[in-house]
Structure 1
Amino acid sequence: MKTIPFARTLLAAGLGLALCGAAQAQEKLTYMTNWYAQAEHGGFYQAVATGIYRKHGLDVTIRMGGPQVNILQLMAAGQADCIMGSSDMQMMIARAGGLPVVTVAAIFQKDPQVLISHENVRSFEEMKDKTILIAPSAQRGYWLWLKGKYGFKDEQTRPYTFNIQPFVADGNTVQQGYLTSEPFAIQKAGVKANAHLFADQGWTSYATTVSCMEETIRSRPKAVESFVKATMEGWKAYLADPAPGNALIRKDNPNMTDEQLAYSVGKLKEMGIIGSGDARTAGIGVINEARAKQNYAFLVDNKLIEPSKLKVEDAFKLDWVKAAKVLP
C-alpha cells in the first residue's frame, strides 16, 4: 500500500482550510436600486459581473426597485443593506422624517433630471405658457426650485404618469424626464424635442446615492467601506467598457434593449453626469460638504425639513468615498 507523506497531508489540509476560509471571507451585502435595471445602474452591475466586489471580499446582490417599491421601507425592514437614493435631498428628507439613513456616496455629480419640450421651445424661460407634466413627488423637490428661478405656476402643472403619449400628442406640453431615458423614447416615437438639464442651470442636487441604515454603518463598517470602493471601481470600468454590466442588466430587465443602453451610456459620458465637478479630482461618488449644506439649506428654506429634526452632518459619512478616490 502506498503511503502519503505526513507533510504532504498537512499541506493539503492547510490548503483546504485556506480555500474554505477564502470562500467564507465573501461577506454578503444586498444593494437595492430605485428602478428597473438600466444603464444608470451600470457600475453596480459591472462590479458584480467583473468580480470587483468579490475582489474586495463581498458577495453582492443587486435587487431591482420599481414604481411601486418603497426601498426605504424595505431597507428599514432589513431586506436590503443599502439603497440607491434618487438624490441626497431625498435621503435628508427621510432622515429628518425619522429614518436613520446615512448617505456615503453619490454616483451622479449632476442630477439627470430634465424638462423635455417640443423642438420650438429652446429654454426654460419659454415654458411659462406651457402645460408642464410632473409627478406629485416633484412638487416637494425640484418644482420649488423651478418656480423660484423661472416663475412657473402650480396652475401650469398636470400629473405625469410615466407615459410619454400625452407629450407626444400635444405640442403645447412639457414633461419631466431623465436625461438618459425619456428623451430616447420620445425620439423613437418620431417627435423632435429638446431636453433641458436642471444641473446646467444651477440645480445642485446629487443623484444615485449609496445610502445605508446608520446601524449597518456602525455594525459593518468594513463591508460598507469595501462596497463604496468597489462600486466606484465598477463605475470606472463600466464607462470604459459597459458590455459585462449590460449583460447582467438585460438579464434582470429583459425589456432593456442594446440601443437604449448605448444611448444612456453615451449621455452619461457626454454630459459629465458621473465624471464632472469634484469627481475630476476627488474621485467618482464624492460629495462636496459645502454643496451638501447648500442642498440642506434649500430643504430648510422651502420647509421640506425642520432644522430641529436634522443636522446636516448626521445625514452623511464621507470619509470612505474620499479615501477611495477612484478618478474617472
Structure 2
Amino acid sequence: MATKDYKVSFWNSVALMALGGIFVFEAAKASDNNDKYLTPVTLQLQWYHQFQFAGYYAALHKGFYEAAGLDVTIKDGGYDAKGNAIIPEAEVVFNRAQFGITRTDLLINHSQGLPVAVIANVMQHSPYVFMTLKDYGFSSLEEIGLNRPVTLNLPSVSDGRNDAEAMAALKVAHVEPAWLNNRFPTWKIEDLLNGTTELMPAYVTDGPFFVEKEGRTPLIISPEDYGIDFYGDLIFTSVKMIEQQPDIVKSFRDASLQGWKYALEHPAEIVSLIHKEYRTRNEHYDLEFLIYESAEIKKLINPDVIEVGYMNPLRWEKIAKTYQSLGLIREYDIESLLYIPPANHPLSGYIKWVKLLVLPLIISLIISAYLYSLTRRLRKEIARRREAEATLKIQAERDALTGLDNRYAFQRNFSHEFERARRYKQPFSLVMIDIDFFKEINDKFGHLAGDEVLKSLANVTSGLLRGSDQMARYGGEEFVILLPNTLESEAMALAERILRANQSNCVLVDGHSLQYTISLGVTELSDEDQSINDLFKRSDQLLYEAKDAGRNCIRRYVGKFVLQ
C-alpha cells in the first residue's frame, strides 16, 4: 500500500508542477501580448467592399489578425481615380501589398514566370456564369446561333483579358467564338434588359439579384453544366514573402481562414458590419443585396463539405490542362504554385517550460500520445476528404432539385450511347419532354410550386423506366431520356405511358391539387445521323412540333412527322 500511495503522490506532484508551469507561461505570454509589436501588412482585394470578402473583415474586427501579431490594412479593388483597373497581382509583386485576392487566372501569370503562390482556396467553385433572360427563349450555349447578339470576353474582342471559363465551356459545347455575333462586354445589366445583348458574363452572387430587382426573370447557364469547374476567390502572396517571412504568411493565412469560418457562422453580424463600416460600390449594394450575396457565397465556399481554404492539387492539374487546351499556357508547375503551410504543434509554446518541469519519461509519454492522436486525426481527415471528393463528384453530375443527371452528365452519356449504337448497329432512341405552360405555373402559384412539379414529374417518369434507360434534367422545364437498344416503336409506347402518367399526376402544393401536362418528341437513331447534334436537333424539333400542335401530345419521326 505504501508503494502504491507513493506512486499516486508522485504523479499528482508531476501533474501539479506541469499545471503550475503552464499557468506561469500563460501569464507571462498574456503580459507580453499587451505590449506585442504588430507587423503591418496590406491585403489587396480584387473588387469593391462586399460580402465576397467577409472573412477578412471578420478577422480584422474580431481581433484574429491582432492575436496573430498583424496590423492589417484592407484595400478595396475595382478601379482607381483615373479609371484604371486595380490588379491585385501587380500590387503584390511590386510590394504595394503583401497579400491579394484573385481567381484561378493566377495560374496563367504563374506559368509566365510571375513569382507568386496560392496560400488558400476560399471559394471551392467559381461564381462566373453566363446570364440571359427567360424572355429570349434559350437555355444552352448550343442555342446561341449566328445572329443572336452576345457580349463575352473572348480573344476576338479581348482587351488582353480572356474569360477562360467562357472559352472552355464554348469549346465543350462545340461553339466556335468566330461564329458568334459578339462584342466586348460592359458587364452592365441594362445591356441585357434592353436587348443590346442576349447573353452576358455575370457572377451568380449578384447578377440574378439585380435582374430580378428590375422585374425580369434571369436564366443562368453555368460552365459547370459543361464540366468546367474552376476555383473562385483565392488568397495569394509573393514567393519573396514566403521565403523571407514564412511566419507572417502562415499567421495571415490562419487568421484569415479563422475569419472566414466566423463570417460563415455569423453572416447577419458580418453583413451588418460591412453595411455600417465599409463603402460599397454604390447605393444598390445595400443591406438587402449583402444578405442575398452572403447566402450565395456560402454555396460557393461549401464549408459543410470542404474545409475552408482546402487546396486540391489534382483539381489544379485539371484546371491547368484546361488552360493548355485553350492555348493560354504552355507549361505549368502546380507544386510551386501551391503553398503548403507548416503544421502546428500544440506544445510549441510550452517547450522550454516542459523541459524544466517534467521528467523525460513524461515527455516521451506525451509525444507518444500526441502521435497516436495525430494518426487517428489524419486517418479521419483522409476519410473525410475522400467522402467530400465523392460528394463533390455527385454534385457535379446531379441536378440538385430533382436528383436526376444534369446536362453535363447527359452530354457525356449521350455521346457514349450514340457511339456504341453506331459501332454495334444497335437501335437507339431519344425522348425529349417539356412541361406545358410552365411559366404560367410559376407566375400563378409561385416558384416553389414549379419546383414541386419538376420533382414530381421526375419521380413519376423515372418510375416507368428500365434500369438501362437514363433520364436527365436538360435545363429549366426540359427533360431528356436516353433509350439504349430501343426501337422507335418501343420508345413511342414508353412515351405514351409517360404522357398518360403525367396527365393523371396531381401535385399537392399548400393544400391545393395542381395538375399539368407535357409535350414529347420521340425519334430513333438513323443512318444519316453523323453526330449527336443531328439526333438531338431532330428530337428538339419534334418537341416544338408537339407544342405547336396544341401541347399535351407526342410527335414522332418515321420518315416524316406524325402527330399522336
Q: Is the 8 A contact 2:52 2:293 kept in 1?
A: yes
Q: Is the 8 A contact 1:37 1:253 kept in 2?
A: yes
Of 203, 216, 224, 1:191 maps to: 216
Report the AA paired with residue 70 of structure 1: I
Partner of 2:118: 103
Aligned residue pairs, count: 303
Deviation at 1:213, TM superposition (A): 0.4
Whole-Å separation in 2 of the counterparts to 1:292 and 1:241: 30
Partner of 1:273: 300
Whole-Å separation in 2 of the counterparts to 1:47 and 1:189: 35
Report the AA paired with residue 143 of structure 1: A
Whole-Å separation in 2 of the counterparts to 1:74 and 1:98: 16
Partner of 1:115: 130
Partner of 1:69: 86
Partner of 1:40: 52
Q: Is the 8 A contact 1:286 1:322 kept in 2?
A: no
Report the AA paired with residue 279 of structure 2: N
Q: 4+ residue runs of structure 1 moved beyond 4 angstroms?
A: 15-21, 320-323
Larger RCO (CA under 8 A, 6+ residues apart): 1
Matched, 1:144 2:160: no
Whole-Å separation in 2 of the counterparts to 1:320 and 1:198: 35
Seen in structure 2, the aligned counterparts of structure 1 residues 320 and 115 have a Cα distance that, compared at 3 Å, is: farther
Of 306, 316, 320, 1:292 maps to: 316
Partner of 1:301: 325
> TM-score, normalised to structure 1's length?
0.83
Partner of 2:69: 57
Whole-Å separation in 1 of the counterparts to 2:294 and 2:33: 38
Q: SS where residue 305 of structure 2 aligns?
A: helix
Q: SS where residue 264 of structure 2 aligns?
A: helix
Seen in structure 2, the aligned counterparts of structure 1 residues 118 and 100 have a Cα distance that, compared at 3 Å, is: same
Query: Bigger CA drift: 99-108 or 243-252?
Result: 243-252
Q: Is the 8 A contact 2:149 2:196 kept in 1?
A: no
Q: SS where residue 172 of structure 2 aligns?
A: helix
Of 193, 198, 222, 1:173 maps to: 198
Q: Is the 8 A contact 2:117 2:337 kept in 1?
A: yes
Partner of 2:288: 259
Deviation at 1:287, TM superposition (A): 1.2
Report the AA paired with residue 110 of structure 1: H
Report the AA paired with residue 175 of structure 2: F
Q: Is the 8 A contact 1:228 1:321 kept in 2?
A: no
Larger radius of gyration: 2
Report the AA paired with residue 266 of structure 1: A
Of 333, 339, 352, 1:317 maps to: 339
Whole-Å separation in 1 of the counterparts to 2:59 and 2:270: 8
Of 144, 151, 161, 1:133 maps to: 151
Q: Is the 8 A contact 2:172 2:226 kept in 1?
A: no
Seen in structure 2, the aligned counterparts of structure 1 residues 141 and 39 have a Cα distance that, compared at 3 Å, is: same
Q: Deviations over 1:109-150 (max 9, x none)?
A: 010111111113333433345332223366351222022111
Q: Deviations over 1:220-245 (max 9, x none)?
A: 11111122122222112112212443
Deviation at 1:321, TM superposition (A): 9.5
Q: Is the 8 A contact 2:132 2:218 kept in 1?
A: yes
Whole-Å separation in 1 of the counterparts to 2:225 and 2:124: 11
Deviation at 1:300, TM superposition (A): 2.1
Q: Is the 8 A contact 2:43 2:99 kept in 1?
A: yes
Percent of aligned pairs with the same residue? 23
Q: SS where residue 280 of structure 1 aligns?
A: coil
Unaligned runs of 5+ in 1: 1-14
Query: Bigger CA drift: 111-120 or 191-200?
Result: 191-200
| Alignment root-mean-square deviation, CA | 2.8
Unaligned runs of 5+ in 2: 1-26, 80-84, 346-380, 389-564
Q: Deviations over 1:147-172 (max 9, x none)?
A: 21112232332211121111101186
Of 153, 163, 182, 2:207 maps to: 182
Report the AA paired with residue 212 of structure 2: Q
> TM-score, normalised to structure 2's length?
0.50
